[in-house]
Amino acid sequence: MQKINNYCWTFIKFLIAWATCVVIIFCCWTHKKTDLLAIPYPPALINFNTSSQYLSSNLASPCQLGNHIFELASLYGLSKHLNRTPAFFIESGYHKNMLDSIRSTMPGLIGKYAIFDGSVPTSLKETKFQKVCCVYENPWNLKRSQHEYLHLTGKFYQSWKYFPNMREELISFLNTSVQNFGILPISNNNTHVSCVHSRRGDFVEMNFYATDPKFMKNAVKFLKEKENYSKKNQKIVLFGDDFKFMRNLFSEAKVSTDAHESVEYYISQNSAIDDFLYSAYNCDEVLITAPRSTFGWWLGYFSKGDKVYYLDIKHARDRVYDNGEIAENDFFLPHWTPLKFAAAINFTVVESGKVD
């Protein structure tokens, strides 16, 4: 009996050890799969019968700064059009991060928003709007909404048509309190600054068109001929997420954090807000080499010269464009200039015709 009991006990211990192992492995496995930042916060407490009417939307909060600015600029523009107060619900950790990053880069923009701490209450009805990222939808049907809280299902809102004629106001929202441009050149009567944005990183994996080195190199050549304005100095400043890529293409470039030296090419390693401010003060024009990059888009939109060249998206192999989710005239401003290679086997960069 004693022996059997002993045997049982050993067996039970073995089972417990096994079960613990299984639980630990399971927890590790599911923990990896659970994205803590995505866990929804409890519903926000909101008041009804206030004197305001609000406009809010789903947001692509896990995305990056350029996407965040599009969403908040567009919802602000829309709310002006609809005579509503734009509202931001802090629905998760991602929303919290998005709010923090907008607060530090464009405090004036988020200052226009009513902030609600928590998820959108389920009692609020959603209104369908903005099905794809980059096609403008006319908001005429939203005008008729009587909802005190108008909450939209869409995301991204990547069209300047949601915030027409608001460039100066949006520039004024940038946080100018700290500025550190390093040794990047100053645009003035003697110096013309061309800014070139590139994007590699996850664009390569996501089947978004990432900067083609040959296009970048030859488009810079195009700019140097086209934009020389007989000023004494012409400077090229490169921006992008892949330092090695830029360094390989322009090995003679100096980095913004280097000791001061006057050269022709520079690579910015400054923060996002410093890049926006630098563009607003110094970029006489901006070249966008990855046409889907929203960071490149804003660099161009904020630029001193308000002059932008971009790779014609028709000539870029981009999954979202191929799916018909981008209307070129909604995404790129009418006065921006598309570029392309001269021919299939001629890599000279030339202007591309616009289709209306």
Ligand X SMILES: *[C@@H]1O[C@H](CO)[C@@H](O)[C@H](O)[C@H]1NC(C)=O
Contact set for ligand X, span 71-100 (CB under 6 A) = none
Q: Taking a C-beta distance cutoff of 8 angstroms, is the pair 241, 199 a contact?
A: yes
Q: Single out the segment in contact with ligand X by CB under 6 A; choices: 26-34, 171-179, 203-211, 329-337.
A: 171-179
Q: How far is Cα 139 from Cα 57, in angstroms, rounded to an integer?
A: 14
Q: How far is Cα 295 from Cα 318, in angstroms, rounded to an integer?
A: 17
Q: Single out the segment in contact with ligand X by CB under 6 A; choices: 172-180, 281-289, 311-319, 324-332.
A: 172-180
Reported in sequence order, the residue ranges of the chain that DSSP labels E, i.e. its strands, are: 54-57, 85-89, 114-116, 126-127, 149-152, 191-198, 233-240, 254-255, 265-267, 285-288, 308-311, 337-343, 346-351
**Nearest residue (CB) to ligand X, 165 versus 230:** 230
| 179 contributes a contact to ligand X by CB under 6 A | no
| 233 contributes a contact to ligand X by CB under 6 A | no
- In angstroms, what is the minimal distance from the CB of 145 to ligand X? 17
CA 253 distance to own-chain centroid = 26
Q: According to CB under 6 A, which one of 122, 123, 177, 251 is a site residue for ligand X?
A: 177
Show the tokens assigned to 339.
């570029």
Q: By CB neighbour count within 10 A (0-12 exposed, 13-18 middle, 19+ buried), where does 103 fall?
A: middle
Residue 102, φ and ψ in degrees, nearest 5? -70, -35
- In angstroms, what is the minimal distance from the CB of 146 to ligand X? 12
> What is the Cα Rg of the chain in Å?
25
- In angstroms, what is the minimal distance from the CB of 170 to ligand X? 16
| Closest residue to ligand X: CB criterion | 342
Q: How far is Cα 14 from Cα 47, in angstroms, rounded to an integer?
A: 57
* CA-angle at 275, arms to 208 and 299, nearest 5°: 50
**Nearest residue (CB) to ligand X, 10 versus 228:** 228
Collapse the DSSP code of 326 into the 3-class scheme (helix H, G, I; strand E, B; otherwise coil) and give the result: strand
| 348 contributes a contact to ligand X by CB under 6 A | yes
| 64 contributes a contact to ligand X by CB under 6 A | no
- In angstroms, what is the minimal distance from the CB of 275 to ligand X? 14
- Closest Cα partner for 44 from 115, 144, 137, 136? 115
State the amino acid at position 173 in one-letter form.
F
| 49 contributes a contact to ligand X by CB under 6 A | yes
| 178 contributes a contact to ligand X by CB under 6 A | yes
- In angstroms, what is the minimal distance from the CB of 155 to ligand X? 25
**Nearest residue (CB) to ligand X, 228 versus 257:** 228
Contact set for ligand X, span 7-46 (CB under 6 A) = none
Contact set for ligand X, span 247-286 (CB under 6 A) = none
In the shown chain, the binding pattern of residues 196 to 225 toward ligand X, with x for contact by CB under 6 A and - for none, equals: -----------------------------x
Q: How many amino acids of this chain bind ligand X (CB under 6 A)?
A: 15
- In angstroms, what is the minimal distance from the CB of 347 to ligand X? 8
Q: Which helix (H) or strand (E) holds 247?
A: helix 243-249
Contact set for ligand X, span 101-120 (CB under 6 A) = 103-104, 107
- Closest Cα partner for 324 from 60, 135, 159? 135
Q: According to CB under 6 A, which one of 50, 233, 262, 346 is a site residue for ligand X?
A: 346
How many CA atoms are closer than 13 Å to the CA of 305, on its beta-carbon side? Answer: 19
- In angstroms, what is the minimal distance from the CB of 60 to ligand X? 23
Q: Taking a C-beta distance cutoff of 8 angstroms, is the pair 231, 284 a contact?
A: no
| 141 contributes a contact to ligand X by CB under 6 A | no
Contact set for ligand X, span 326-345 (CB under 6 A) = 342
Which residues are near ligand X by CB under 6 A? 48-49, 103-104, 107, 175, 177-178, 189, 225, 228, 342, 346, 348, 350
